[in-house]
């Protein structure tokens, strides 16, 4: 049939996400999103403290639903990421070939073994910026809930340490654009990697650049400085290896280049 967008109904994402119940509904929504031109599908396999009636340790999505989404993703050549706080949701994501797993807070030895076995193809983003800020009361979190986020932060820090021991690739970023984590504050994640996860500044920068390029399937073009790569460059007035928080100082970012195009150039202070 005619797939010209002029002859098809137009849909807007109704809320924070699309809600689909059952494999057929999941398949239908994923096909709609593929038709509308998305690059990536993100599946919420587990619950969450912030937005869900299911707690973080629960896994409401089923294998059949994930399989339906992956069927569409493979047919449409889309990347897939998954929100996976529970250990079972991480295992489910791995079973179905998801490459980008967010959170992985409540991992046990079985989950860690599976992640380690898949470490050549999988990446984990703990996305701690939101949990950290909510544990500090950001975004108007009620006082009685702050302890819940503090506990989840503690669990997350321990989980990341255990994953690092297994050689699993950990990346910063994720869960920005909320009232507690506004857009434009992403560099805070780099500071958190050093401050609470124990990464060195160098390892943090490598995770944010080189590993990011690998995740995007462009290891020779993104996250590296060499001939033939995309010229995505920052010139910083200071030493991020000595104080990674300087990357949150917009004044200190003297030059910003994206794809070889200069977007900011400031005179030296």
Q: Domain boundaries in the chain?
A: 9-227
Question: The tokens of 86 are what?
Answer: 């529970």
- The whole-number pLDDT of residue 33 equals 92
- Ranges of residues in the chain whose predicted pLDDT is under 50: 1
- The whole-number pLDDT of residue 8 equals 61
pTM assigned to the model: 0.90
Exposure letters 130-145 (e unless 16+ CB within 10 A, then b): bbbbbbeebeebeeee
- The whole-number pLDDT of residue 228 equals 92
| pLDDT digit string, tens, across residues 162-179 | 999 999 999 999 899 988
Q: How many CA atoms lie within 13 A of 128 on its CB side?
A: 28
Q: Does domain 9-227 have CATH number 3.20.20.140?
A: yes
Q: How far is CA 60 from CA 17, 70, 96, in A?
A: 15, 17, 16
How far is Cα 98 from Cα 91, in angstroms, rounded to an integer?
10
């Amino acid at each position: 049939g005619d797939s010209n967008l002029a002859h098809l109904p137009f849909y807007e994402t109704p809320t924070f996400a699309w809600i689909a119940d059952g494999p057929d509904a999941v398949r239908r929504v994923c096909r709609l999103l593929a038709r509308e031109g998305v690059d990536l599908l993100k599946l919420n396999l587990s619950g969450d403290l912030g937005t869900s009636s299911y707690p973080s340790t629960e896994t409401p999505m089923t294998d059949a639903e994930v399989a339906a989404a992956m069927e569409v993703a493979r047919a449409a050549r889309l990347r897939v990421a998954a929100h996976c706080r529970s250990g079972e949701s991480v295992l489910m994501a791995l079973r179905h070939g998801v490459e980008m797993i967010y959170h992985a807070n409540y991992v046990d030895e079985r989950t860690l073994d599976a992640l380690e076995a898949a470490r050549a193809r999988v990446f984990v983003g703990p996305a701690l910026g939101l949990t950290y800020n909510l544990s500090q009361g950001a975004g108007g979190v009620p006082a009685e809930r702050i302890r819940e986020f503090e506990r989840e932060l503690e669990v997350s820090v321990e989980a990341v340490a255990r994953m690092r021991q297994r050689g699993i690739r950990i990346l910063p970023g994720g869960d920005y654009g909320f009232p507690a984590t506004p857009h434009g504050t992403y560099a805070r994640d780099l500071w958190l990697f050093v401050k609470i996860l124990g990464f060195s500044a160098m390892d943090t920068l490598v995770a944010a650049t080189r590993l990011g390029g690998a995740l995007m399937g462009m290891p020779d073009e993104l996250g590296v400085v060499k001939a033939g790569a995309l010229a995505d460059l920052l010139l910083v007035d200071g030493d991020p290896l000595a104080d990674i928080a300087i990357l949150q100082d917009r004044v200190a970012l003297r030059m910003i280049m994206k794809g070889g195009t200069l977007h900011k150039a400031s005179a030296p202070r």
